[in-house]
Amino acid sequence: MTIKKPAADIMQGTLDMLILRTLIMGPAHGHTIAEVIEHTSENALDVEQGSLYPALHRLEDRGLLSSEWGVSENNRKAKFYRLTAKGRKELAAATSRWRRMTRAIGLILGEVGGESAE
Amino acid sequence: MNIERFFERFRDRKRKDEDLAEEIDSHLAHAQDAHAARGLPPKEARRQANLKFGNPRTTREAVWSYRSIPWLEDLWRDLRFVLRSLVKTPGFTAIAILVIAVGIGVNTAVFSVIDTVLLKPLTYPDPQSLVQLRNTFPQGSNPFASVPEFHVLSKQTGIFQQVAAYDFGGAGLNLTGGDHPLQVQGIHVTADYFSLFGAPVIAGRTFTAAEDQPNGGRVVVLSYGLWKSRFGGQSDVVGRTIQIDGQPYLIVGIIGKGFVTDPEGDLWLPFQFDLTSQSMAHYFLTAARLKPGVTIGQANAQLKLVADQFRREYPGGRGPLDGFGAISLQESMIGDTRQPLLVLLGAVGLVLLIACANVANLLLVRASVRKRELATRAALGAGRIQIIRQLLTESLALSLTGGLLGLILGFAGVRLLLAVSPPGGLPRIGEDGSAVTLDPTILLFTLGVSILTGILFGLVPAISASSPNLATTLNESGSRSGIGFRSGKLRSVLVVTEMALALVLVIGATLLIRTFMKLEAVDPGFETHNVLTMAMSISGDRFQKTSGVAQLVRDGSERLKAIPGVVDAAATCCLPLQGGFGVPFDIVGRPKGDAPSTGGAGYFDISWSYFNALKIPLLRGRTFTEQDNGAAPGVVIINETMAKKYWPNGDPLKDRLLTGVGMGPLFAEPARQIVGIVGNTTDRALDEDPGPNMYVPTAQIPDGETALNSKVAPLWWIVRTSVEPHSVVAPVSAALRDASGGLPVAHVRSMDEMVAHNTSRQRFNMLLLTVFGASALLMAAIGIYGLMAYSVQQRTQEIGVRMALGAQASSLRNMVIRQGMAPALIGVAIGIGGAFWLTRFLASFLFGVKAWDPAAFIATPLLLSAVALIAIWVPARRATRVDPIRALRFE
């Protein structure tokens, strides 16, 4: 059975980076991470929260995150994710990649933005 | 990425999934808490949380599929399903696998020979730069060289790094000393031979340049095999001496195990050429290693100039149009065996195609039986691609299993065949095919063929079965969901194909069988029954002069004739069917024209009783007598072809011949009187017309020639018996040992065996193609039988109705036969056309039969039609036995 890939898939690398960025503040569970991403982006990145989990598990498999079950602020059982040293390094690299890219895109848009591509 | 981490992903999927489910529950609970904190009622809070999260199942599936290799799991699932369904139909599975195994088996068999003979590189270092040097003539070329030619070629340092000469050890040597003398293959070589071929020296050294000069001393290098068998692999053998033909030889070195020569040699001796020799006797081969950067094409261009140099240095030594050439050593070893092997590969390719058509047919039947199952699966949501994939998995499972079985059958079969009926002259296959080994190339070939086969026979049925026509299929009742029009037509096309391919193969086989029968019927010109032949190596000092050999021949003949059961005995340099030396001659008193000599003919030195022992008829004049000895005037007898060719009108018995013209002083002798004309014998192969031959008494040939003969060929003894020839081997060997002072004999064979060996290649090809043709015929018959049997079964009801309405049994039978014979006859017609086009590739293997042999092209189609008729007859009869009542109730 093949599953239709969500259109947001192209943002996968970006989502990974946002997750890592969120966790730099300290360990958090899935719900918190989703809330933080949504709030700090002023609700611009409104994705189905379910799509967060494949990303979390992928990052954990890559060794960028570690996880353990704990008790949340609501006194509920929750799985907490924590940034590993490797994850920190990856965040730094991803952030600088992102900066370079946005700068490049910005340059291009700034130069040819006025003229139509047609 | 770290491997362990990579696999971490696929581990514990079940546990991780449960973990995730719990995690999702936790997430939803937290989300609900958050909504509740904003004042939503619990139910609405829960709804909002679920809405925001999306479908938890989707999330879990996304993680699950990320943790899997989807195609591998689909494959595994398909495979388990396929295996279950194959096991449920053991009859179908067994037949399909068997048919594929035969198809792939014959391909593996032929390919393993092709791999060994044609494809594997030579085992010498840098084999691409090794070339065989050849003498070229306007009519062709041959690989034999003379000492002056070797001398000139070995000086061409601009083309070659190294040049070496070697013979085939044809004469054999006798290891004397010790209790039992042993005849061995001693290869004469020049000093550079070992480094040219990269022979691994495991002890001692090879010959020095000084040892390879005349009077360089008696030295020998042993092969690994002889070192082990004769010396038990003792480490101190180097420096010891062995007795060869009564003379002590110093062992200077031992060559390692992996060094392959063809034919195998037991030991090596230095040639010790006298490079000032003017002898034009061609009795050895030369190979060379090209200088780095020199191509074979460039070498050949340079060798044109070398021919001019040769003519300057040895005036009269070569004709004005003769030259030298170089071909790759591998090409030279492969020789003319490439085409027969490729023809065989073509033939087995056809067998495989027929097998594919057959299995495709079976699969079509199976698919039509399973139509409802497939339709149900499609209705439940299986995509067309998934159904095709599942059916292809099934055909691949069949073809791979069949391929594995075929690999075993084919490989075992080819080894058995090469051991039981070895084809003469197939190079590089080792003793009884021992060089044909199961290597990665063959495994890869069989795997590739299996996969290709599986796709070939599986794809068409799969596509046709997957065509979505759910409603009609599901609405049809179970037992009647019969063969649809489309797949019925497809099956007829497959039967047509099978018949056509089978016909091509059977016509090919028929042509080869006819060729073989014609060969068997060829009169070799002498009486082959009750003749025993054997070889004696006479390389010892005693036999370097003609008188010594003549003495041996006299003594031996006398002792042999005294043995009970022996009728006559003779000795010769060369047996019929093996051929003699080619020697130029002049007819005294005739002008030569442009040519260096009047002509060339086969040259046999024989003892006086040769013609009588072989029962070669004397046509005119007289045969030799014991009195034609060294003291008597020189005489020669010629064969019928020579008489007709050179004396179309005159009388040969009035003329004298000068033999060995231009071959140097060793062969110089006074002219010989022609005293007789004998019937032709076949001297090389039965399918070649006899050439001109001259026979001279062994006692009369020049000493130099005797000395050379003793190096290049053994003395052959011929014994005619009144009893089964092999029954006198023991007394004959004993008599010859006594006559020769203890020399052993080897290559003991009856003349009938030699004839069989002479046609072994044709027999090999014929046997193989007959097996292929027969299996093709059988498969085609099964195919057509299956088609008609199934069609009759499917139409039971229709036939019942026809019978109920009063149709005659005979007309029903004829109807079935008509419908079955239509595709069979179309196939035969196409096959005749195909065979007409394809048999041209067989033309060079045929003898006495034309490629469009009318007998083959008429009898074979009739045979195939008859087989098809029989295959159809059985279901046709079944149709007439249909009980209308039961047929109508069949529903």
pLDDT value at residue A10:
39
pLDDT value at residue B479:
44
pLDDT value at residue B5:
64
What average pLDDT does range A48-60 have in this prediction? 83
Contact flag B27-A29 (C-beta cutoff 8 Å): yes
Taking alpha carbons only, the member of B277, B56, B40, B254 closest to residue B145 is B277
Instruction: Report the residue of A31, A36, A79 to disrupt the B interface, i.e. the one with the largest count of B CBs within 10 Å.
Output: A31
Percentage of residues in chain B having pLDDT higher than 90:
35
Contact flag B5-A62 (C-beta cutoff 8 Å): yes
pLDDT value at residue B471:
61
Taking alpha carbons only, the member of B715, B714, B723, B698 closest to residue B563 is B723
Phi and psi for B692 in degrees, rounded to 5? -70, 140
Instruction: Name residue B130's beta-bridge partners.
Output: B289
Residue B62, pLDDT > 90, answer no
Q: Are B318 and B238 within one domain?
A: yes
- Encode pLDDT of A65-106 as tens digits: 999 998 888 888 899 999 999 999 999 998 888 888 888 888
- Encode pLDDT of A21-33 as tens digits: 889 888 999 888 8
On whether any CB of chain A is under 8 Å from the CB of B23, the answer is yes
Give the confidence band of B811 by pLDDT, cuts at 50, 70, 90: confident
> Closest approach of chain A CAs to the CA of B5, in angstroms?
7
> Which of A3, A35, A74 is nearest residue B61 as measured by Cβ atoms?
A3
Q: Are B792 and B663 within one domain?
A: no
Partners of residue B22 in chain A, C-beta under 8 Å:
77, 79
Q: Are B716 and B854 within one domain?
A: no
Partners of residue B19 in chain A, C-beta under 8 Å:
79
Give the confidence band of A44 by pLDDT, cuts at 50, 70, 90: low
B873 part of a folded domain: yes
Identify the contact set of chain A against chain B, taking CB-CB distances under 8 A: 1-3, 29-32, 34-35, 48-51, 53-54, 57-58, 61-63, 72, 74, 76-79
Better pLDDT: B3 or B851: B851
> Closest approach of chain A CAs to the CA of B385, in angstroms?
12
Alpha-carbon distance B88 to B86, whole Å? 5
Instruction: Report the residue of A15, A36, A38, A49 to disrupt the B interface, i.e. the one with the largest count of B CBs within 10 Å.
Output: A49
Model pTM score:
0.73
> Closest approach of chain B CAs to the CA of A107, in angstroms?
34
pLDDT value at residue B406:
93
pLDDT value at residue B291:
93
Contact flag A51-B30 (C-beta cutoff 8 Å): no
Asked if residue B136 lies in contact with residue B282, where contact means CB atoms within 8 angstroms, the answer is no
Q: Where are the beta strands (DSSP E) in B722-763?
A: 746-750
Give the confidence band of A6 by pLDDT, cuts at 50, 70, 90: very low
- Encode pLDDT of B665-715 as tens digits: 777 888 999 999 999 998 877 778 888 999 999 999 988 888 888 877 889
Contact flag A57-B66 (C-beta cutoff 8 Å): yes
What average pLDDT does range B382-394 have in this prediction? 82
> Closest approach of chain A CAs to the CA of B463, in angstroms?
21
Contact flag A49-B56 (C-beta cutoff 8 Å): no
Give the confidence band of B655 by pLDDT, cuts at 50, 70, 90: very high
Lowest mean pLDDT among B157-166, B228-237, B295-304: B228-237
Give the confidence band of B223 by pLDDT, cuts at 50, 70, 90: very high
pLDDT value at residue B404:
94
> Closest approach of chain A CAs to the CA of B334, in angstroms?
55
User: Average pLDDT of chain A?
Assistant: 78
Residue B788, pLDDT > 90, answer no
Asked if residue B710 lies in contact with residue B543, where contact means CB atoms within 8 angstroms, the answer is yes
Residues 561-600 of B with CB under 8 A from A: none
Alpha-carbon distance B130 to B142, whole Å? 17
Is A12-111 in CATH node 3.30.390.30?
A: no
What average pLDDT does range B524-537 have in this prediction? 92
Residue B782, pLDDT > 90, answer no
Give the confidence band of B117 by pLDDT, cuts at 50, 70, 90: confident
Q: Are B573 and B702 within one domain?
A: yes
- Encode pLDDT of B467-519 as tens digits: 656 666 666 544 444 444 455 788 888 889 989 999 999 999 999 899 888 88
What average pLDDT does range B47-67 have in this prediction? 84
Partners of residue B62 in chain A, C-beta under 8 Å:
3, 51, 53-54
Taking alpha carbons only, the member of B104, B162, B609, B137 closest to residue B359 is B104
Asked if residue B533 lies in contact with residue B575, where contact means CB atoms within 8 angstroms, the answer is yes
Contact flag A79-B52 (C-beta cutoff 8 Å): no
Residue B253, pLDDT > 90, answer yes
Alpha-carbon distance B714 to B459, whole Å? 62
> Closest approach of chain B CAs to the CA of A37, in angstroms?
14
Contact flag B20-A53 (C-beta cutoff 8 Å): yes
- Encode pLDDT of B738-777 as tens digits: 998 888 888 889 999 888 888 888 888 888 888 888 888 8
Alpha-carbon distance B693 to B678, whole Å? 10
Contact flag B66-A53 (C-beta cutoff 8 Å): no
Contact flag A49-B31 (C-beta cutoff 8 Å): yes
Residue A5, pLDDT > 70, answer no
Strands B323-328 and B672-678, bridge-based pairing: unpaired
- Encode pLDDT of B360-385 as tens digits: 888 887 877 777 777 787 777 777 88
> Which of B53, B66, B67 is nearest residue A50 as measured by Cβ atoms?
B53
Contact flag B59-A53 (C-beta cutoff 8 Å): yes
Please enumerate in sequence order all residues whose Cβ is within 8 A of that of B15, keeping only pairs 6 or more positions apart, or say none.
none
> Closest approach of chain A CAs to the CA of B450, in angstroms?
29
Taking alpha carbons only, the member of B409, B347, B344 closest to residue B762 is B344
Residue of B nearest to A64 (CA): B5
Residue B358, pLDDT > 90, answer no
Partners of residue A63 in chain B, C-beta under 8 Å:
5
Contact flag B23-A63 (C-beta cutoff 8 Å): no
What average pLDDT does range B842-846 have in this prediction? 83
Contact flag A76-B65 (C-beta cutoff 8 Å): no
Please enumerate in sequence order all residues whose Cβ is within 8 A of that of B764, keeping only pairs 6 or more positions apart, or say none.
B417, B421, B422, B423, B426
DSSP summary character for residue B698: G
pLDDT value at residue B734:
92
What average pLDDT does range B602-630 have in this prediction? 94
pLDDT value at residue B827:
93
Taking alpha carbons only, the member of B778, B728, B762, B777 closest to residue B842 is B762
User: Average pLDDT of chain B?
Assistant: 86
Q: Are B706 and B784 within one domain?
A: no
Alpha-carbon distance B19 to B381, whole Å? 30
> B287, B311, B336: which is the final residue of a domain?
B336
Q: Are B515 and B543 within one domain?
A: no
Lowest mean pLDDT among B188-202, B332-346, B817-831: B332-346
Partners of residue B63 in chain A, C-beta under 8 Å:
53-54, 57
Asked if residue A53 lies in contact with residue B59, where contact means CB atoms within 8 angstroms, the answer is yes
At B553, which amino acid appears? V
Helix (H) or strand (E) holding B857: helix B854-880
Contact flag B66-A58 (C-beta cutoff 8 Å): yes
Contact flag A3-B58 (C-beta cutoff 8 Å): yes
Residues 236-275 of B with CB under 8 A from A: none
Q: How many CB pairs under 8 A join A and B?
A: 78
On whether any CB of chain A is under 8 Å from the CB of B377, the answer is no
On whether any CB of chain A is under 8 Å from the CB of B65, the answer is yes
Alpha-carbon distance B34 to B18, whole Å? 24
Partners of residue A2 in chain B, C-beta under 8 Å:
70
Alpha-carbon distance B812 to B802, whole Å? 8
Contact flag B66-A51 (C-beta cutoff 8 Å): no
Counted domains in chain B = 4
Instruction: Report the residue of B4, B7, B59, B71 to disrupt the A interface, i.e. the one with the largest count of A CBs within 10 Å.
Output: B59
Residue B263, preceding peptide bond in cis (omega within 30° of 0):
yes
Q: Exposure string (b/e) for B726-740, b if CB count within 10 Å is 16 or more?
A: eebeebbbebbbebb
DSSP per-residue letters across B278-317:
------EEEEEEEPTT--HHHHHHHHHHHHHHHHHHSTTS
Q: Are B57 and B190 within one domain?
A: no
**Cα angle, residue B645 at apex, residues B640 and B647 outer, rounded to 5°:** 90
Residue-number span of the structural domain to which B156 is assigned? 127-336
What average pLDDT does range B288-313 have in this prediction? 91
Contact flag A49-B53 (C-beta cutoff 8 Å): yes
Partners of residue A32 in chain B, C-beta under 8 Å:
30
Contact flag A77-B26 (C-beta cutoff 8 Å): yes
| A19 SS3 class | helix
Alpha-carbon distance B226 to B269, whole Å? 14
Residue B286, pLDDT > 90, answer yes
